[in-house]
Structure 1
Amino acid sequence: ILPPDTLALIRVGAQTGNLVEALREAAVLARTRGEAPTINLHGTLTYVLAVGLVLLSISGFIMYWIVPKFRMIFNDFGIKLPEITETVIAGFDGFANYWYLSILALPAGLLLTWLTAAFLLDVLGLGPGWQRRSFPWSSRWTPRLRTPAVLRCLAVCVDAGRPLSHALQSMSDFYLDSGFRGRLVYIFDEVSRGQECWLVMRSCGMLRRGELGMLEAAQRVGNLPWVLRSIADSIERRAMYRFFCLVQLVDPLIIVVIGLFVGFFCASMFLPIISILEKLA
């Protein structure tokens, strides 16, 4: 029911004696994510399926009724069909010969689309719970996208007046994302040896240079919890913005792919007519 970062936040709050603040922060985080803009995957998939069925019906009719007549006419004139037309015919012949594989390709494509969307939603913590699935290996590629969860847990720990190592130990022992847990174990070990927490996180690719300076300054003036939460919110906002910019490219890309298919198919059907006219001329 709860995502890994929320569970880690509550567990750190319970172990540091700051459970009330941890629950309050988890509630605010859940509300913020619930109010975030949703991704209209259903509309995009419906559009692709509808257009795909229409294109398949029209092209199937042409290949079944028109192309055989093209072949007969070209054979009568002793003319070879254009190469692009032969390519399209060979493609549809393969589709007809292996129709069972073509039927399996549709659910496989939908499954691949769903897994891709679920992966992106997982690394960003976006969308309702039923859309999110945990991918243990995703955090190895995008450790920075897990940084907000760590920073919020550290903020709860600092609010309770406990050392940062308490929160790091709790997360390294119980964090549900096994891929990211290994990174937390490394950070905890380095901090236990006396290394600066922010420098270790920076070396792991979880913090940028400017954020490192902000944390060091906040630690000196006693404003660390607020800065930790501010950096966490900033990282998530930037990640959401980049993700939704990427999503906006999906629909134009689909239209371009469909347009290329239609253009290629139309060219393959009209070039034989031009060849016949040139032969008659």
Structure 2
Amino acid sequence: MTPSIDAATDSDTGTGTATGRSAAVSCTRLAYSFGETTAVDGLDLSVGEGEVFGLLGPNGAGKTTAIRCITTLLPVPAGMVHVFGHDTAKEQMSVRRMLGYVPQQLSADSGLTGRENVALFARVFDVPRKERAARVAQALRAVDLTDAADRLANTYSGGMVRRLELAQALVSAPRLLILDEPTIGLDPIARTSVWEHINAVREATGMTVLVTTHYMDEADQYCDRVGLMHRGRIRALGTPEQLREGLGERRRTEGAPATDPLPTLEDVFRDIAGSGLEDQSGGFRDVRSTRRTANRVG
């Protein structure tokens, strides 16, 4: 199995951030179980402030459960998860005020206009009344939906729906944006458009982005670092280039010709997950949820 790789920390723990960055998210021995099923098993993870961090892994690896613990949607003991230094167990409201969250399941209301959807989230996130109209307009402009803002969301294309949900998450000006499979079910052009808007906002604001995705090309192109999660733990950690080069070097020490092409991030993914890709593929409810989301945005 490929060892964990990180330029700034002990490779065995999965902790630490990119060099010179303080931690936006810190998980220490994070564990969460559903009955007798362990979803997250002693997860150690640190996401540097201002970076785009990709959390990768097969279905059932524990990614979404970890995300829900970080966003305070699932309760964890004190000391396990901190967001910008705030303990999620003791300071839930402080943590929530710093977050923007785009879940895997759709959150936009098809019976509302784009503007009404974003305005609703502005109220939920307690954006001051006198600032709401301007903040809503700013969020819509950031994702290039100004012209479509007063159309019903049920007239939007899949890519527009995901950008609308991004605007919903951005309206509170979050320091940390969490995206759970943000481009699921989208065609390549729409996927690129969503990422272009994410990066534009990140560059303008310096916010931290934590994203889960099954698209290895996205992780390779857009993430500063990635953590490959399997069976509830981080099994490899580093920049996409470090992980690809690490697997290539190991293969050469095992006798692979030096002329072999550099492994892809998908090769690293498969090397880490191994045979577990089949038995960790999720159950009927996971498949149904994923297909519903893909159908609605497609």
Pick the TM interval, shorter chain: under 0.3
Higher helix share: 1
Higher strand share: 2
Q: TM-score, normalised by structure 1?
A: 0.24
* Pair member with larger Rg: 1
Q: TM-score, normalised by structure 2?
A: 0.23
